[in-house]
Amino acid sequence: MRILYFSLRRGAIVVPFVFIIIGIILYLISCRSEPTLIRTPGTFYMVHTQNKVVSLTFDDGPDPLFTPQVLDILKEENVKATFFVIGKAAEANPAILQRIIGEGHVIGNHSYTHDYRQRTLATEIAKTDQVVFAATHAHTHFYRPPGGIVAKAQLEIVKTNGHIFTLWSLDSRDWVNPGPTQILRTVVDNVFPGSIILLHDGGDRRGQTIAALPTIITRLRSMGYSFVSLEELRHMDNSSIPTGWE
């Protein structure tokens, strides 16, 4: 009975511990393809500046329902942003590309098919750039990999292709649709001068992002922040610490 007693007590301790370990492993696996900040040399994800400036970026569009609503808000608030478009979606919505450029925003390259493995990276970048140029007569200069996944070989391909490998420094986590209030809180609580903010205008239902966006802009302005394009932001670094985009 004494041995059985100790076995049961040990089991009571070990079993919860095992479940905790399994939970951690499953969580890490689930996060592998989630957007996250990867401070990889050779990538552009922020600048070092004392000026309260940030850059808004939107991924996975253009979406015929949600992107125009985002553009309406940006126009109303007089804010310029960068839209990292997926080639397939861009091909189906050339008028939205024309509106993005016509209203003074920047179009970035987010691959053609949103393939996380980026198996035909150079081809996907080229196809998306061709789609954007056909609609707007503007080329893409910033490339953002699906899921923020980076590999050395991909960095070299992007550099050779003439694009700036662009990530982010503040993930709004709007892609999990946590509610407009939580999206706002995540941005406001984590913003800093020189931030590149990740948001989404496509890839899923983006009503929460649209609901949060006006308040994000208002709140950041009340904190003294102004909004600049990625092109403007990358020339604002005033530190000897490399940002990786040079």
CB within 8 Å of 26: residues ≥ 6 apart? none
| Catalytic residue (choose from 110, 200, 201, 237) | 200
Give SS3 for 127.
helix
The whole-angstrom distance between residue 63's C-alpha and the CA centroid of its chain comes to: 16
Indicate if 204 belongs to the active site: no
Q: Among the options 59, 171, 174, 237, which is catalytic?
A: 59
Q: Is 171 noted as a catalytic residue in this protein? A: no
Rg (CA), the chain: 21
Give the Cα-Cα-Cα angle 118, 24, 192 (nearest 5 degrees). Answer: 65
Pair 77, 215: CB distance under 8 Å: no
Provide the phi-psi class of 26: left if phi over 0, else alpha when psi is between -120 and 50, else beta.
alpha
Beta-bridged to residue 196, according to DSSP, are: 55
Question: For residues 148 and 123, is the Cβ–Cβ distance under 8 A?
Answer: no
State the catalytic residues.
59, 200
